[in-house]
Amino acid sequence: MGKPSHLVEFEHMVLGRHQLSSTTRRHQEGRLERSAYIMLSRIEVQGPMSIGQLSDAFQLDASTVNRQTAHAMRAGLLERIPDPEGGMARKFRLTEEGERRLREERDTHVKDLDRVFEDWSAEDVETFARYLQRFNTSVERITGQPWPRA
């Protein structure tokens, strides 16, 4: 295959196609869409964010972020608040329902991963997590788009 990065590229592509939750489960009522899950996770870690901040964080145009936040607000997952730091732009924060749904979705993801890691040692899982974090932080360094970590 050539350089080791060829193998990483291939496995990265394969990883991108895997979805642990079945297609049927993904469309069940109460499941969050992937984009909503990621947006809510970001707001949970970073705190209230404006359209501009979300647009910058996800490298999306403001109209896309507007549609996503409007959908999340209609679903009762987000609410608009005045900027806690006194700025002009209103910000979005998770509602109690948004926090509950995010927690449920994350629990489902963790249970699915637990099934994947059934025959892995705890040490192997921790090592994999460290390498995955190292990979992600290297990408973030190159792109200039760090993801806040708790």
Tell me the pTM: 0.86
What's residue 3's pLDDT? 87
**31-143 — its CATH code?**
1.10.10.10
Q: What is the pLDDT of residues 58-113, one digit of tens each?
A: 999 999 999 999 999 999 999 999 988 888 889 999 999 999 999 999 999 999 99
Nearest to 113 by CA among 99, 128, 101: 128
Average pLDDT score, the chain: 91
Per-residue model confidence (pLDDT) at position 22: 47
Name the β-bridge partners of 91: 81
